[in-house]
Every structure is written in C-alpha cells, then in structure tokens.
Amino acid sequence: MNLEALLADRLAAAFAAVAGAPVDPLVRASQHADFQSGAALALARSLGRPPRDLAAAAVAGADLAGLADAEVSGPGFLNLTVRDDVLAAGVDALDDRLGVARTAAPERVVIDYSGPNVAKELQIGHLRSTIIGDALARLFTFAGHDVVRVNHLGDWGTQFGMLIEHLLAVGGEDHSPGDLTDFYRAARARFDADDEFKARARQRVVALQSGDDLSRRLWHRLVEQSEVDFLAVYDRLGVTLAPDDFVGESFYQDQLASVLAELGEKGLLTESQGALCAFPPGFTGRDGEPLPLIVRKSDGGFGYAATDLAALRHRVREIGATRLLYVVGAPQRTHFRMVFAVAALAGWLPDGVTAEHIEFGAILGADGKMFKTRSGANVRLSALLDEADERASTHAVGIGAIKYADLSGDRRSDYVFDWDRMLASTGNTGPYLQYAYARIRSIFRKAGGEPGPVVLGEPAERRLALALLGFESVVDAAIAQREPHRLAGYLHDLAVAFSGFYETCRVDGSPSRLTLADRTGRTLRVGLDLLGIDMPDEM
Ligand code: ARG
C-alpha cells in the first residue's frame, strides 16, 4: 500500500479544483503528522491567496473519507493523519511482495557491473561496483524488469603480450600460472627489466590479435583461471553474477571494424595525430580544446572506448535492451558521457532507450586517502573477506556488514572503511538489522499464540504499522533514483520502530502484535535480500 500515492491522488483532485489547473499536492512523510502537503504554500503566490485559505479549501473539497483526517497547520501546511483501521488493514494485507506491484512497463535492463581485469586479482576498487550493481540487479528484477547482468571483464589488451610470454617462459601451456596477482607482478618486473622480453611481448600481442593458435590458447588459460578466481569471490560475497554473465572486452573485438565503419559513414570521425577520433560537441579539455574520444589509436589498435561503443551497440541491437546501467566509479564519468554522446549521434540510442552511468565514490582509509594496506599496496578483496570472517561472529555477519556499509550511504559519496563502525551491533549497520531479524525469529520460536488481525492501540504500534506500509514507496524510489541507500535507510528506521514497539508492547499471546512482528520480519528479510544481505535465523 503506497499511502503517499493514495493521499496524493485524493488531494490532487481537490487542489486542482481550487487552482483551476493540475497541481502536485507535494505529499511527504512528516514529523508533525503521518504525512504533510505543502501544496497550498507553493500555490499561494501564483493564485494571490493566503495559503491557509487554499489549504482549507482543498480539505473541504478532498475526498479523504475512510482514509485520513486532514488539518490545516502553521502557515498553510496540510497535516494528514491516516486512520488506524486503514493502517491495520494495510498491515494485515502485506503479502510476500509486501505490496510492491510488478511494473506495468517492464524493460530489458542491461546492468554492467563488477568488471574486474583479468590476471589481476579482484581489488577493492571493484567491490563497490559489485555490491551496488548486484543490489540494483535484485531491485530491478523484483520490480518485474527483465535484467541482463553483464560482467565486462578486462580480458583484452596489450598486457597479455607480457603475460603470455611470461607463462611460456615459466613452463608453457601445461603450467598453472598460480596466484595471478603474483604472476602479473613477476611478468611486469621481467617486462620492465628485460628488453628482449619486452620485444617478444610486443610481437606476442600482434600474434594474439591476429588469431595465432598458441597465443589464443595461452590467453584463454589465463582468462579461465581469472574467471574461476572471480567466481569464488562472488560466491563468498553472495553476488548473483554467474559464468554466463561474463562477457569480456574480447567478445567485442570482431565488432570493432564495423563500429569504426559505421561511425565513419555517419561522418563522426576525424583524424587527429594519426588516431581516428570522435569529437562529440560539448566536451572540452582543461585548455578549452575539444576533447577526443579515441576510436582507433594511431598504431591501428582499438582501446577501452571503442570496445564500450561496440558493447553499447550490441546491447541495444542484439540484446534488445531499452535501458543500460553502467555501475562504474565516478572517475570514469567523462568516458561514459562521451561514449553515450557518440552513441546517440550514431543513432545507437534511439528514442525509448536510455544509458546511464551509475557512478559511485571511493572507499577511503582512516587517513582519508584511498583505502590501502599498511604497506601502501592495493587491498585484495579476498584478503578483505578473510578479515571480515575473522572479525565477525559468522560469515553472514561479516559480509553483511561490508555490504551494508557500502550500500547505506549515498553511492556518490566517498566513505571511510572502518571495521569497528560497520560491525557495530547498534546504529545504522548490517549487524543491527540482522539482530533485529533474529530477535523476531526468536519471538516466533518462543511465543504462544497465532498471528491474527491487527488492532492498533499504543503509539508504538501505530508507528510500526506506518513504517511497515512505507516499503512500497521506498522500493519505488530506490529504483527510480537508482539509490539503494534509500532502502537501507528505510530498513534501519523500520528496525528502530520495531525496537520501540518491542520495548513497550508485550507481544506474547497477542495475535495483533504477532502479526506486526511477522510483517516486520518479512519486510526486513525481503528488503535485506534486495540489498544482497543474508539473514541468519539466530545470532
Ligand atoms: N574493467 C574496467 C575497470 O576496471 C571496468 C569496466 C566497466 N564497464 C565498462 N563497460 N566499461 O576500470
């Protein structure tokens, strides 16, 4: 039940009659009543009438019977108090979906997330993309969209020359590269120290790109091992990316010539210092010079941008996506803006198809700088997960704490990685919500009686009922804004409302209160599942 929408609907008609034109009644949750409308204040100036009069006229004309009581307050606000029987019936009716309807306009949504680079272990930098992307994939799926997850692996590029040469040098085809981070470092060291090796690595890139068999096989070996490593981390994290979702940069290589040709035909390419570039209007560098999106480099090779253009075209044309989400850190903002702009000019983003960069801030250390190990190295995700397991009482609590800490703030902001804060059992944390859920489970293990119809008496019961009915609108908003933190914040408020209820109301033996507890447990479970956070039954 979306109370906000229901009230807005009823008030819209009344305000429209007063104003003689359509009006957004601006209904919001409020401290002063259940909801408040500020529309009279907004209208007062244009209509030249006192806001209190407008609010009173709207109340007189509004059909709120059986739903809420309205009262003009202060300078002209409308305070709305939902009737207790409406709240009670709403809580009674909450089902498995907790009132969230499936969208009437399902879209095919391609969500590009995680995107680690082969032969480098998953780094903390990919953690946010993985966690936020997975939450969005779960939310869009829940709303009834057709979600296609894509893990845009960095599995192509010049670094494979040195990696393959190194693999040959240490044992060849039958040799396991072992720990890929160490392997990468060793290859790099050799590349930097040995000119002959460097020359061979360069030739190897050419061989690989022209389809040489041995080079392909060795490359494949490295990619395969990387994928196994990534999947192991996804599994530990409870992330829904599966092997079929891995569509790396290499997949698009044979589409690049046609991307280039199509852009050329449309007159979008300009030669600049030997490279073929697109110059979408509106992008300039620091010096005011037009900024190029390099499609083909001066050495004839294709890079990150060309691959993203091909991937976008593929997702729209072949996969049939109407919506593209790229969950990638804020530093790639200009890259994506330019890719989208060029794609739009090329006609690859027709009407009804949208592309959006879901950007996010950095994870910082206690010193406010990029989060690193004590020795200044990049933090490996697997090491981080090991530490979570050591510090937390159970795996679900450790992982839940990390995920919740990442999802509970506005994704655009940086945040400080702080074990003590994220693992705390009080405050806006994952463990706090897991405890709240476990407590509800234990009520049902111990309590006598069966849940029955809700009857509201105590203020704390009423507050809890109102909170429960807020789930639908918050899920809608989290999807509409691509902001999982809205759901996180809601779940925390709900757990606080529950704790207030549990402290003042004796649940045992009360059918109504057992129903309130049951719906709270359900909402926490479904809500945290949408964030990708597991709920232990006992803690
Ligand atoms: N591999 C890239 C990186 O580590 C992220 C890929 C993001 N997705 C994309 N379509 N460009 O920065």
Kindly report, residue by residue over 7-49, the tens digit of the pLDDT. 999 999 999 999 999 999 999 999 999 999 999 999 998 899 9
Judged against a pLDDT cut of 80, whether residue 409 lies above it is answered with: yes
Residue 444 lies in a domain: no
- Residue finishing a domain among 82, 108, 133: 82
- 110 DSSP 8-state letter: E
Residue-by-residue DSSP string for 397-427 = HHHHHHHHHHHSS-TTS-EE--HHHHH-SSS
Report yes or no on whether pTM surpasses 0.80: yes
Q: Please identify, among 82, 111, 139, the residue that sits at the C-terminal boundary of a domain.
A: 82
Rounded distance from Cα 120 to ligand 1 centre (Å): 13
Using most ligand atoms within 8 A of CB, pick from 122, 151, 332 the residue to mutate for ligand 1.
332
In this prediction, residue 158 carries a pLDDT of 87
For the stretch 109-144, pLDDT in tens is 999 999 999 887 677 879 999 999 999 999 999 999
Structure tokens at 325: 């989400």
Residue 89's CB is within 10 A of a number of other CB atoms, namely 14
Q: How far is the CA of 512 from the centre of ligand 1 (A)?
A: 51
- CA nearest ligand 1 atom 5, residue: 115
**Residue that terminates a domain, selected from 191, 219, 240:** 240
Taking the centre of ligand 1 as the mean of its atom positions, its distance from the CA of residue 123, in whole angstroms, is 13
Nearest CA to ligand 1 atom 9: 152
In a domain? residue 76 = yes
Mean pLDDT of 151-169: 94
Q: Which domain holds residue 75?
A: 3-82
Query: Ligand 1 center to residue 336 CA distance, Å?
Result: 10
Is 182's pLDDT higher than 90?
A: no
**Is residue 115 in contact with ligand 1, taking CB distance under 6 Å?**
yes
pLDDT digits (tens, 9 = 90+) for 212-242: 999 999 999 999 999 999 999 999 999 999 9
Give me the number of domains the chain comprises. 2
Residue closest by Cα to atom 4 of ligand 1: 116
Please state the rounded mean pLDDT for residues 252-272. Answer: 97
Note whether 491 and 530 are within 8 A (CB). Answer: no
Residues 6+ apart with CB under 8 A from 128: 329, 360, 363, 406, 411
Strands 363-364 and 415-416: parallel
> Given this model, what pLDDT does residue 448 score?
79
Residue 109 pairs in a beta bridge with: 147, 323
User: How sure is the predictor about 179, in pLDDT bands with cuts at 50, 70 and 90?
Assistant: confident
Whether residue 430 lies inside any domain: the answer is no
Q: State the complex-level ipTM.
A: 0.99
User: Is the residue at 151 inside a domain?
Assistant: no
At residue 341's C-alpha, the angle toward residues 339 and 344, to 5°, is 105
DSSP per residue over 373-384, as a string?
A: -TTSPPPBHHHH
Our answer on whether the CB atom of 154 is closer than 6 Å to any ligand 1 atom is: yes
- What CA–CA distance (Å, rounded) separates 184 from 115? 18
- Does residue 310 carry a pLDDT above 90? yes
- Phi and psi at residue 111, in whole multiples of 5°? -110, 115
The beta strand positions in 61-195, using DSSP E, are 68-73, 77-82, 108-112, 146-150
- Walk across the sheet containing 77-82 and list its strands: 27-29, 35-37, 77-82, 68-73
The pLDDT tens digits of the residues spanning 367-397 come to 999 998 888 888 888 889 999 999 999 999 9
- Nearest atom within ligand 1 for CA of residue 335: 11
**Mean predicted lDDT score pLDDT of the chain:** 95
Question: How far from each other are the two terminal CA atoms of the chain, in whole angstroms?
Answer: 32
Per-residue pLDDT for 70 more than 90?
yes
How much helix, strand and coil, in percent to the nearest 5, is found in the chain?
55, 10, 35
Give the pLDDT of residue 339: 98
Q: Residue 363's beta-bridge partner residues?
A: 415
Cα of 331 from ligand 1 centre, angstroms: 11
Structure tokens at 131: 């966690």
* Contact status, residue 498 vs residue 520, Cβ threshold 8 Å: yes
For residue 293, which phi and psi values (nearest 5 degrees)?
-105, 110
pLDDT reading at 89 higher than 90: yes
Span 474-505, pLDDT tens digits: 999 999 999 999 999 999 999 999 999 999 99
Count other Cβ atoms within 10 Å, centred on residue 448.
8
pLDDT band at 440 (very low <50, low <70, confident <90, very high): very high
453 C-alpha to ligand 1 centroid (Å): 51
- We report the CATH number of the domain holding residue 9 as 3.30.1360.70
Q: Dihedral angle at the C-alpha atoms of 362, 363, 367, 373, nearest 10 degrees? A: -120
Confidence check: pLDDT of 96 > 90: yes
From the CB of 114, is ligand 1 less than 6 Å away? Answer: no
